Amino acid sequence: MSSIFAINRGPRVGGFRSLLRRVAAIALVGAALSGCVASDMALDDLSRDAPQIPGKLLTEMSKKGMNPESPVLVRIFKQESELEVWKINGTGRYALLKTYPMCRWSGKLGPKMANGDRQAPEGFYHVSRGMLNPKSQYYVSFNLGYPNRLESALGYTGEALMVHGACSSSGCYALTDQGVGEIYAVVSKALSSGQDRFQVQAYPYRMTPENMAQHKDDGNLPFWLTLKEGYDAFELTRQQPKVSVCGRRYVFNTEFQAGEPFDPLAACPVTASPSDPQLVAKIAAEKQKVEAALAGRNASTMTAYVDGGMHPSFRSLLKKEGADKLAARISGIKYPVSRPEAALADPFMEIRKRTGAAAAGDNFRGD
């Protein structure tokens, strides 16, 4: 009986390696069903040099007053299926370098709480150099560091939640190989040039008062209102917010009389005087706008959906070309698109109509 595991004995080393690749490919597909796998592999076809910042992106940095060594910050938005890369420019503040469409994320809006729930995380994370993986099964990747201190204290479970290539997700954020390669090169350069770790802010959506009102009836709204405090701190200052955890929540840009809180579940200790009263006032004004929006608008009716989201540009290609061709466009590994039927669903269509957000076909060339 023939079998993929049948091995001809003899000195055909190349044939043996080919067999290993075939077996590994089958194993990877099986692994995708149970979680985001990003461990190093010892196969020849996964051994590669880490990607470098392309010349076009270096030119864009120069135009925006940035240099490759300057610190970096990442923001992720589920509803919009977009990932932003920010870098410090000549003003000493963060400016947007580039926005990348995400091909796939899994779960639904809301935080990740348990291993196997397919939820992509929401919250504030910090990525150090040791969390980068240049030999990921999904091209290259970096680990978000879920669960963070707050999530661990709350008993949330899960591991290996990544930003990676290929259009497949079991709780991760997946981009094109080209996109994640650029991001990887940019963050790697910053980390090797003195930045100790970079911050990742993962949100359910762009946290405008209008978007908050669209989701007013969601049970996660109290958590999202906390995330918005950090979102606003960055939006108003273009500086990375300082993140503390106490009282079972994130606390931003706050100094405490006795130093940083130790126990994320205990009540927050006494705070010192705010270092920036003007910022506090601006955030309070934004909070009033949100409260007014929540009081004045009915929540949006969302289309029921099975699993996760996909940027409209990729959904358009999926409809037009099918899952196999989309997978080939996205990644040289040609990893299968995860749950393509669910990816075709568009739970945010009505919200995009109301907010005028981008429609299908936006700026993706597939190169």
pLDDT of 16 strictly over 80 = no
Q: How far apart are CA 270 and CA 258, in angstroms?
A: 8
Single out the residue of 207, 174, 214 nearest to residue 301, CA to CA.
Answer: 214
pLDDT at 4: 27
SS3 234: helix
pLDDT tens, position by position, 37-88: 544 333 334 446 789 999 999 999 999 999 999 999 999 999 999 999 999 9
> Which of these is catalytic: 36, 172, 246, 311?
172
Q: How far apart are CA 239 and CA 241, in angstroms?
A: 6
pLDDT of 32 strictly over 80 = no
C-alpha Rg value of the chain to the nearest Å: 22
pLDDT at 235: 97
pLDDT of 28 strictly over 50 = no
pLDDT at 357: 57
> Helices (H) and strands (E) in the chain — how many of each?
11, 12
pLDDT at 301: 57
pLDDT tens, position by position, 284-342: 999 999 999 999 866 665 655 668 999 999 999 999 999 999 999 999 987 899 999 99
103 is catalytic: no
pLDDT of 358 strictly over 50 = no
pLDDT at 268: 96
Residues facing 136 on adjacent strands: 139
> Which of these is catalytic: 36, 103, 164, 167?
164
pLDDT of 14 strictly over 50 = no
pLDDT at 26: 40
Count of Cβ atoms closer than 10 Å to residue 362 Cβ: 14
Q: 335 and 36 in contact (C-beta within 8 Å)?
A: no
Q: How far apart are CA 316 and CA 333, in angstroms?
A: 21
pLDDT at 227: 98
Cα–Cα distances (Å) from 158 to 30, 144, 175, 185, 239, in that order, read 18, 11, 21, 26, 30
pLDDT at 299: 63
Count of Cβ atoms closer than 10 Å to residue 230 Cβ: 24
Burial class of residue 258 (count of CB atoms within 10 Å of its CB; 0-12, 13-18, 19+):
exposed
Per-residue H/E/C for 21-51: HHHHHHHHHHHHCCCCCCCCCCCHHHCCCCC
261: phi then psi, degrees, rounded to nearest 5: -60, 145
pLDDT at 302: 60
164 is catalytic: yes
pLDDT at 49: 78
Average pLDDT score, the chain: 85
